Structure 1
Amino acid sequence: MASKLEYLLNRYADKTATPEEKEELMRLLQENSNDKTVQQVIDKMIAERPVAHEMSEKTAQAVLQAIFEADETPVVTMGTTPVRRMPYWRIAAAAIVLLMVTAGGLLWMNNNSKTQVAKVDKKNDVAPGGNKAVLTLADGSTIVLDNEKNGVVAQEGNAKVVKLKNGQLMYAKADRQSADANAPVVYNTLSTPKGGQYNIELPDGSKVWLNAASSITYPTTFNAKERKVQVTGEAYFEVAKLVTVKDGRRVPFTVDIVAAGNYSPPTGGARVGRHDLGQVQVLGTHFNINAYDDEEAVKTTLLEGSVKVTKDVASALLKPGEQVSLSQSSHLSHPIPVQTDAVMAWKNGVFHFENADIKTVMRQVSRWYDVEVVYKRSLDKDDPLFFEVTRNTNLSDVLRVLNLAGGARYSILDKKIIVQ
C-alpha cells in the first residue's frame, strides 16, 4: 500500500491524477486501517523537509479539504464522521505533505485562518527572478551580465573582471605584461534590478550575494590598510580574512550603507565613503544587511564572527545570532536574538515568513517578480502569515499558497498583484 500511496501523491503533485485517483488518495489518507503505512510514507516525505511548526486540528482539516476543493475537478467530500475518525496527527501531516507537493512550498497557518481558495489565473503568470545584474565600470560604461558570455568581460586597473560558468563575478590579478604599477585605484558597481540576484567574489576573496534591487560599490583592488565597500538594498557577506605582511594585523573591512535614493555609481576613481544609513565594521565574517528604502528599518544580522554597527555617535556590537536595527528616525536598537534561517531565506532560495503582515510579504514578492502590488481592501484586521515557499517557482504558485492562508485574496493582472 505504501507504493500505491506514494504513486498517488506523485500523480497528484504532477497534476495528472484522475478524479478517481484523487478520491482513492483521500480515502487512503482517512482509513484507520492504514495508520502504520500512511505514517511511514508521510514521515518519509516530511523527513526530506523538516517541519518546525504545528497546525491546529481545525486548521489542518480545513486545509486538507481546501486543497482538494481547489482542484478543477470535484473530488470526494470530507464528511464530519470520517474526519473525526481520522487521527489528528494524520490530518495535519497529510495537509502539510499535500501543500508541499502541490504548491511547491510549506504553509503554516494560524487557528483563525480561513481556507476558501481563489484560483490564480495563469494567463498572467510571472516567472521567478534569476541571475541578473549590471556592472558599471570606472568610466561609467555598463555591462549587462546576464547577456554576457562567460570569461573576461573587462579589465579595470590591474584586475581582470571574469564571469564564471555558475554566473558568479570575480576579480583576478591582471597578467604581468598588462599590469601597470602606477594605475590608480578605480571603483566598480554591481547592481541587480527587481527580479534579479547576483553573487560576486571581491578582489580580496570576500564573497557577496546581492538580493533583488540592490548594489555594491568596491575598488577593483584593495590596499593594505583598509577594505571599504558601499551597499544599497540587501546583501549577504562572507568576508575573507586578510592580514598585513609586515605585522600580521587584520586588514579592516567596512561596509557603508547608503539609501538607494541618494546613491549614484562613482566614476573616475571616486572614493566610497558615504554612509547615510550607518556603517558596519567587520570583526568577523558572515553577516547580512537589509537596507531597502521601503522597509521600516535597516537591519544587520550576524551569523558568524563579530561586527560593530555604527550610526553617528551610537554603536552596537553583535554576537552570532543577533540583529540590530536602525529606524527611520536614526535610532539604533540594542542587539536582539533572531532566527537567522528566516533572515537568510532569500539567499537560500526561499520565501520564509513567520508572523509577517501582508505588506511585508508583498514587498519581498514584488521585488523578486518585478511586479506592482495594488491593495483593494483594508489590511488592518488580517491575521499574520506563516509560510515558506521556494523562490524558484512561478508567481501563481506563490499566490496559491497565500490564498490558502486565508484573509486576503490574491490575483495577477498585467504584471500587478491584486490584493482584495
Structure 2
Amino acid sequence: MASLLEYLLNRYADKTATPEEKSALMRLLQESSNEKTVQQVLDKMIAERPVTHEMPEKTAQAVLQAIFEAEETPVVNIDTAPKRRMPYWRIAAAAVVLLMVTAGGLVWMNNNSQTQVAEAKIKNDVAPGGNKAVLTLADGSTIVLDNEKNGVVAQEGNAKVVKLKNGQLMYAKSDEQAADVNAPIAYNTLSTPKGGQYNIELPDGSKVWLNAASSITYPTAFDATERKVQVTGEAYFEVAKLVTVKDGKRVPFVVDIKNKENGRDLGQVQVLGTHFNINAYDDETAVKTTLLEGKVKFVGKADSILLAPGQQAVASKKLSINETPDVSQVMAWKNGLFHFENADIKTVMRQVSRWYDVEVVYKRSLDNDDPLFFEVTRNTNLSDVLRVLNLAGGARYTIQDKKVIVQ
C-alpha cells in the first residue's frame, strides 16, 4: 500500500493523476485502516521538508478538498458516515504535504478561516521575476544586464565591470599598466525593475542583493576614509571588513536611504561590520532596517538607534525599535520565498505586484478579512501563488492582462 500511496502522491504532484487516481488518493488518506502506512509515508515526506505549523482541525478536510478542486477536477466527496476515520490532524498533514509538492509552498490556515475555500480564477498567467537589472554608467549610458553576455561589460575609471553568471555583477581592478591614478572616481547605479532582482559585489568586496524595483548608487572605487552608497527600495547587505593601511582603523560604511520618486532622504545606516536588510519602498508605511549580524546605527531626522542582532529600526513619523521582528519574513525575498505570518492582504499583494510586475485592483472591502499565514516559493507562476493565497485566505482572484483583480 505504501508504494501505491507514494505513486498516487507523485502522480498528483506531477499533475498527471486522473480523476480516478485522485479519488483513490483521497480514500487512502481517510481510511483509518491505512493510518499506519499513511503515517509512514507522510513522515518521510515531512522529514524532507519539516512542517512546523499546525493546521486547525476544523479546516483540514475543507483544505484537502480544495486541493483536489483547484484545477477544476471532479469533486471528490468526503464520506461523513459515522465510522472511524483517520484523525483530522493527520488529514491536515496530508493537506500540507500536498501543497508542498504541488505548489512548492506551505500554507497555514488560521483559526478563523472559512470552511469553504473559493477557487482562484486564472484566465492568464504571469511568469515569476528573475535576474533583471539596468546598469547606469558615469557618463549616463545604460547597459541592460539581462541582455549582456557574461564577462567584462564596461570600463569605469580604474575598474572593470564584470557580469558573472546567476545574476551577479562585480568590479575588478584594471591591470596596473592600464590604470590611471589621476582618474576621477566614477559613480554607477544598478537598478532592478519590477519583476527583477540582482546581486552585486562592490569594489571593497561587500555584497548587496537588490529586490525588485530597487537601486543602489556607488563609487567604482572607494577611498580610504569612507565608503558611502545610496539605496532605494529593498536591499540586503553583507559588508566586508576594510581597514586603513596606515593605522589599521576600520573604514566606515554608510548607506543613505532615498525616496525613489523624489530623492528625499529617508534616513542613514552607519555600519560597524554587519549583515542587514533595508526595506524602504515608497509605498510602504515605514522604512525598516533589520540587523542579522554585527552592529549598525540607524540615523533619522531627529534621533538615532543603535541596533543589536535580531532588532529592527522602524522609521515612520517617529523612530522606534522592534525588539522581535520576524527575521524569516524579512529575509524571505532573498531566500526565494514569499513568507507571511499575520499579514493583511494589501501587504501581501504589494510584494506580489513588485515581483510579477502586475497592478492589483481591489473590487471589495478588505476590512473584515482574516490575517494571512502562508509560504510559497517565488520561483513559480503567478497562478500558483494565487492558488496558495486563495487557500490561505479564501479570497477570489482573477488575472486580466497585467492586473490581479481581488474580489
SS at match of 2:342: strand
Q: Please list, as runs of the form range in 1=range in 2, the aligned pairs for 1:8-407 lying within 5 A after superposition.
A: 8-81=8-81, 85-114=85-114, 115-121=116-122, 123-263=123-263, 276-327=265-316, 329=317, 331-407=318-394
The answer as to whether partners of 1:70 and 1:117 remain within 8 angstroms in 2 is no
The answer as to whether partners of 2:311 and 2:321 remain within 8 angstroms in 1 is no
**C-alpha separation in 2, matches of 1:170 and 1:347:** 18
Deviations 1:110-134 (A, max 9, x none): 122124232432x510000000000
Cα shift at 1:75:
4.5
The answer as to whether partners of 2:361 and 2:403 remain within 8 angstroms in 1 is yes
**C-alpha separation in 1, matches of 2:69 and 2:188:** 53
Q: Percentage identity across aligned positions?
A: 83
May I ask how many residue pairs the two structures share in their alignment? 406
**C-alpha separation in 2, matches of 1:323 and 1:83:** 52
**C-alpha separation in 2, matches of 1:84 and 1:143:** 66
Aligned to 1:269: none
Letter in 1 for 2:118: V
Letter in 2 for 1:366: S
User: Could you state the TM-score of these two structures normalised by the residue count of structure 1?
Assistant: 0.94
Cα shift at 1:165:
2.0
SS at match of 1:408: coil
The answer as to whether partners of 1:151 and 1:162 remain within 8 angstroms in 2 is yes
The answer as to whether partners of 1:316 and 1:335 remain within 8 angstroms in 2 is no
**C-alpha separation in 1, matches of 2:234 and 2:120:** 32
**C-alpha separation in 2, matches of 1:355 and 1:103:** 21
SS at match of 1:405: helix
List structure 1 runs of 4+ shifted beyond 6 angstroms: none
- Give the aligned CA root-mean-square deviation in angstroms: 1.4
SS at match of 2:369: coil
Deviations 1:217-270 (A, max 9, x none): 00000011110000000000000011111111111100000000123xxxxxxx
Cα shift at 1:84:
6.1
The answer as to whether partners of 2:230 and 2:255 remain within 8 angstroms in 1 is yes
Deviates more, 1:211-220 or 1:37-46: 37-46
Rate the CA distance shift 1:186–1:20 in 2: closer, same or farther, 3 A: same
**C-alpha separation in 2, matches of 1:375 and 1:249:** 54
The answer as to whether partners of 2:131 and 2:166 remain within 8 angstroms in 1 is no
Gaps of 5+ in 1: 264-274
The answer as to whether partners of 2:120 and 2:396 remain within 8 angstroms in 1 is no
The answer as to whether partners of 1:103 and 1:397 remain within 8 angstroms in 2 is yes
User: Could you state the TM-score of these two structures normalised by the residue count of structure 2?
Assistant: 0.97
Cα shift at 1:34:
1.8
**C-alpha separation in 2, matches of 1:67 and 1:94:** 11
**Is 1:417 aligned with 2:404?**
yes
Letter in 1 for 2:395: A
Gaps of 5+ in 2: none
Cα shift at 1:166:
2.4
**C-alpha separation in 2, matches of 1:51 and 1:36:** 19
**C-alpha separation in 2, matches of 1:84 and 1:277:** 61
SS at match of 2:161: strand
**C-alpha separation in 2, matches of 1:381 and 1:295:** 21
SS at match of 1:338: coil
**C-alpha separation in 1, matches of 2:82 and 2:96:** 19
Rate the CA distance shift 1:400–1:390 in 2: closer, same or farther, 3 A: same
**C-alpha separation in 1, matches of 2:164 and 2:71:** 43
Letter in 2 for 1:325: V
